[in-house]
Amino acid sequence: METTPTPQNGASFLERLPTELEAWQKDNLIREDQAQALLARYGLLAGETPRTLHRSRMVSILAVLGVVLVGVGVILLIGANWEYIPKWTRLLLLILATAAVYFGGYRMAYKSKSYPKVGLALLLLGSLFWGASIFLIGQMYQLGGFDGGGERQAVLYWFIGVLPLAYALSSPLHMLLALVLGTIWLNMSLFEERTFAPEIVMLIFLAVGILLYALGRLHYMGKIMQRLSVSYHWLGLLYIFQTVYVLSYRDMFSSLSFAPQPWLWIGLILAAGGVAVLALFFTSLVSDRAALYEALGLLLLLAVNVTMAAIFASYPQAAETTHLPYDQHASILPMAFFNLLLFGLTIGVIALGWARNQPGLMNFGIFVFFVQVVSRYFELFSDMLSSGFIFVGAGLLLVFMGVVLERSRRKLLAGMAQRRPS
């Protein structure tokens, strides 16, 4: 007798899978070895229940939180420069601990597979210890560098060491650590250098955001590296939105500064972003329609970025940063443009989240929308008449879009009903 598929409302795919596989086996749809292979594909053990799955997730969360605490604690201890343990002893202990944690973690996660979740967390701890060792060497040899550049260089070494490990282990945790380190290094480089003007920093952030987002999508499309795509994707999204948000303020364009800028580096980041976005565009031609719109959105952002770079590069190159006189009217056009861009991106992200069934993206879009409305409300408070018209206009546009979507949804449902066999 065939078993009836049990409705498991609210249960995720992974939670449903073990029960479903059991039912399929009973119905002789699949053999036991095939069921085992399917379980292994999703990292599940035989006899896994929703409860054990929840527990497994809890183990991961606890282990990672614990490891982050230990790692940050060790970096703080290095910072304290405790004089009672000689520096060479400290370094030796840290190198030995790094090696032990790495090899122990690898054994637990991949060889014996006795504690896979804890093992992965220990591998992350190894990378944190490795970073702490670099700082210890910097401290031992007083490698402060020019303008504190020694610390910046240490963060760069750490990033360069962790990134390949993320790929070798296909570990999202290591990828997140690497990208966070890359972000810290970028911010240290941009804000500690005295020659960078704020608009150039924004230009670089936007270019980095486009590059990261496109890389995230490319990783996702290449099935092997799908696990690593999340950090790229979200960090890219954050870079893009925070940059466009900052550029949407009127004051950003009321006085511009210019000075010799690192055009070679900006050009390289833009070129890398361009290659990644074009690769994504051509890949998306054979993919779903949402991916195509996403690639077109990135191309638009890239065009904005290149235009910004061309405008800034056309300024007379002064030896030092100098400021243009405050001009309130000159700032209106770019402000309006970046507000429209932010609005369009927000709607785009919500639509993407809806099309891909990703509530996280939709929530992010709604959050950005809320922040933009509140920001503009207070920024434009002094001019309530025009602000009021802008808000009413934008609101009506959204309602109109809702009506259009509702109509297309009805048409779609009617079409589906006609096609359904009677």
To the nearest whole angstrom, how small is the minimum distance from the Cβ of residue 290 to other proteins? Answer: 32
Please report the beta strands in 246-333, taking only residues with DSSP state E, as ranges in sequence order. 257-258, 322-323
Q: Which is nearer to other proteins, 145 or 415 (CB)?
A: 145
CB of 147 to other proteins, least distance (A): 7
Rounded distance, CA 316 to CA 256, Å?
A: 12
- Helix (H) or strand (E) holding 204, with range, is helix 198-221
Which residue, 138 or 353, has its beta carbon nearer to other proteins?
Answer: 138
Instruction: Report, in Å, the least distance between residue 315 CB and other proteins.
Output: 18
Distance between CA 51 and CA 56 in Å, rounded? 9
> Minimum distance between the CB of residue 37 and other proteins, rounded to whole angstroms?
19
Nearer to other proteins, 78 or 179 (CB): 78
Contact 323, 256 (CB under 8 A): yes
If the CB atoms of residues 262 and 348 are measured against other proteins, the closer one turns out to be 262
First-to-last alpha carbon distance for the chain, in angstroms, is 28
Backbone angles phi, psi at 258, to 5 degrees: -145, 150
How far apart are CB 133 and other proteins at their closest, in Å? 5
Alpha-carbon distance 99 to 121, whole Å? 14
User: Hunting for tokens 């993407």 — which residue is that?
Assistant: 352
**CB 23 to other proteins: min, Å:** 34
Q: For residues 71 and 274, which CB has a smaller minimum distance to other proteins in the complex? A: 71
Q: How far is CA 141 from CA 83, 91, 150, 346, in A?
A: 15, 12, 11, 49
Complex with other proteins: residue 171 or 284, whichever CB lies closer: 171
Q: Indicate the residue among 126 and 274 with the shorter CB distance to other proteins.
A: 126
What is the distance between the alpha carbons of residues 9 and 7, in angstroms, rounded to a whole number? 6
CA dist 185 and 180 (Å) reads 9
Q: What is the 3-state secondary structure (H, E, C) of 37-56?
A: HHHHHCCCCCCCCHHHHHHH
What's the closest the beta carbon of residue 78 comes to other proteins, in angstroms?
7
DSSP state of 257: E
The CA-based dihedral angle spanning residues 362, 368, 369, 372, taken in that order and rounded to the nearest 10 degrees: 180
Could you tell me the smallest distance in angstroms from the CB atom of residue 399 to other proteins? 48
Count of residues making up the chain? 422
| DSSP-derived 3-state class of residue 1 | coil
Minimum separation from the CB atom of position 236 to other proteins (A): 25
Least separation in angstroms between residue 417's CB and other proteins is 50
Nearer to other proteins, 150 or 348 (CB): 150
Of 309, 320, 306, nearest in space to 257 by CA: 320
Please state, in angstroms and rounded to a whole number, the distance separating the CA atoms of residues 307 and 305. Answer: 5
- Rg of the chain's alpha carbons, rounded to an integer? 26
To the nearest whole angstrom, how small is the minimum distance from the Cβ of residue 322 to other proteins?
14
CA distance 365 to 391: 18
Based on CB atoms, which residue is closest to other proteins, 16 or 87? 87
DSSP state of 383: S
Residue closer to other proteins, measured from CB, 288 or 320: 320
Q: Which one-letter DSSP state was computed for residue 2?
A: P
- Which residues here bind other proteins, judged by CB under 8 A? 75, 78-83, 91, 95, 98-99, 102-103, 106, 110, 126, 130, 133-135, 137-151, 154-155, 157, 161, 164-165, 167-170, 194-195, 319-320
Nearer to other proteins, 78 or 345 (CB): 78
